[in-house]
């Protein structure tokens, strides 16, 4: 083996080692959902998650941090699903349920915007360990879709893999 070959092999091994070491621990962070407009996707919108460090000891505290982060999109192609005039009035924890009270402006939103916002909030909060149900209320009344009072991972789907699985 010539000297050059040895050096090349050594560099390759180092790079491999660095890439293994640098693998991010994505599952340790909180996933925050934003409305994404990807220019490459020909004008399509989607709900995309960004990972942020978890902050807060309790699920309610973590939920509060996530809701705050949802108002601060990380890049130009990401948009907050919570309009500026809608305030988060309170976040309460009840066992495995998180109840989010939003201001009355939320109920004034059109169905589409409200549905997207509710889906993004619910998906973000359902990612918190121990949280299995999310309720979104305005003036104490559930603002979920008509026949469901809270969101779970079983009634909220943002990935069409479910259809592909169904077809198989």
Partner 1 sequence: MAIISRRRKTKKAGFSLRLKITIAFGALLLAALVVMNTYPAAVIKNQIINSSRSDMLSGVTTLASALESFPYLSAENISTAVTVLDMAQNHRVLVTDGGGIVLYDSQKSSRLSGNIVMFEEIVSALQSRDAFRCTYDESVFCSRAASPILKDGTITGVVYFMQNDTENALLLTQTRRNIRGISLAALIVSGIFVVFFNLALSRRFRTLLRGVDAVGKGDYSYRIEMRGLDDELSNIADEFNSMSSRLQKTDAVRRQFVSYASHELKTPLASIKLLSDSIIQVKDISSEDIREFVRDIGDEIDRLTHITESLLSLSRLDALPPVTLVSCDLSATVTKCAELLKGNAALYDVSINLGYEGEWFVMAARDGIFHIVFNLMENAVKYNKRGGRVDVRISRERSTTVLKISDTGIGIPQNELEKVFDRFYRVDKARSRETGGTGLGLSIAKEWVDNMGASIEIASTYGEGTEFTVRFASADEEVVE
Q: How far is the CB of 133 from partner 1 (least distance, A)?
A: 14
Q: How far is the CB of 127 from partner 1 (least distance, A)?
A: 15
Q: 70, 33 in Cβ contact below 8 A?
A: yes
Q: How far is the CB of 140 from partner 1 (least distance, A)?
A: 20
Report how many residues bind partner 1 under the rule CB under 8 A.
34
Instruction: Find the binder of partner 1 among 5, 19, 75, 111 (CB under 8 A).
Output: 111
Quote the CA–CA distance of 102 and 143 in Å, as a whole number.
9
> How, if at all, do strands 78-79 and 88-94 pair?
unpaired
Instruction: Find the binder of partner 1 among 9, 17, 139, 162 (CB under 8 A).
Output: 162
- How deeply is 29 buried, as exposed, middle or buried, from its count of CB atoms within 10 A (0-12, 13-18, 19+)? middle
Q: Which is nearer to partner 1, 17 or 162 (CB)?
A: 162
Q: Does 165 bind partner 1 (CB under 8 A)?
A: no
> How, if at all, do strands 133-138 and 97-102 pair?
parallel
Q: 50, 74 in Cβ contact below 8 A?
A: yes
Q: Which is nearer to partner 1, 9 or 162 (CB)?
A: 162
Instruction: Find the binder of partner 1 among 110, 129, 140, 141 (CB under 8 A).
Output: 110
Residues 35-94 that bind partner 1 (CB under 8 A): 35, 41-47
Residue that is written with structure tokens 């059109």 in the block = 110
Radius of gyration of the chain (CA): 21
Quote the CA–CA distance of 118 and 140 in Å, as a whole number.
16
Where helices occur in 26-86 by DSSP H, the ranges are: 59-70
Residues 5-34 that bind partner 1 (CB under 8 A): none
Instruction: Find the binder of partner 1 among 114, 121, 136, 138 (CB under 8 A).
Output: 114
Binding residues (CB under 8 A) for partner 1: these are 35, 41-47, 110-116, 118-119, 145-148, 151, 154-160, 162-164, 166-167
């Amino acid at each position: 083996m010539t000297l050059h070959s040895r050096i090349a092999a050594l560099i390759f091994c180092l790079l491999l080692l660095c890439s293994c070491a640098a693998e991010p621990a994505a599952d340790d962070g909180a996933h925050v959902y934003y409305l994404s407009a990807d220019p490459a996707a020909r004008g399509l919108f989607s709900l995309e998650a960004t990972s942020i460090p978890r902050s807060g000891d309790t699920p309610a505290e973590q939920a509060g941090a996530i809701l705050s982060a949802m108002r601060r999109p990380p890049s130009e192609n990401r948009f907050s699903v919570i309009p500026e005039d809608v305030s988060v009035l309170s976040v309460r924890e009840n066992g495995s349920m998180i109840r989010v009270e939003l201001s009355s402006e939320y109920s004034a939103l059109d169905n589409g915007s409200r549905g997207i916002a509710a889906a993004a909030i619910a998906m973000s909060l359902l990612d918190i360990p121990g949280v299995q149900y999310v309720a979104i209320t305005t003036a104490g009344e559930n603002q979920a879709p008509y026949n469901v009072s809270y969101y779970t991972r079983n009634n909220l789907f943002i990935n069409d893999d479910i259809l592909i699985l169904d077809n198989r």
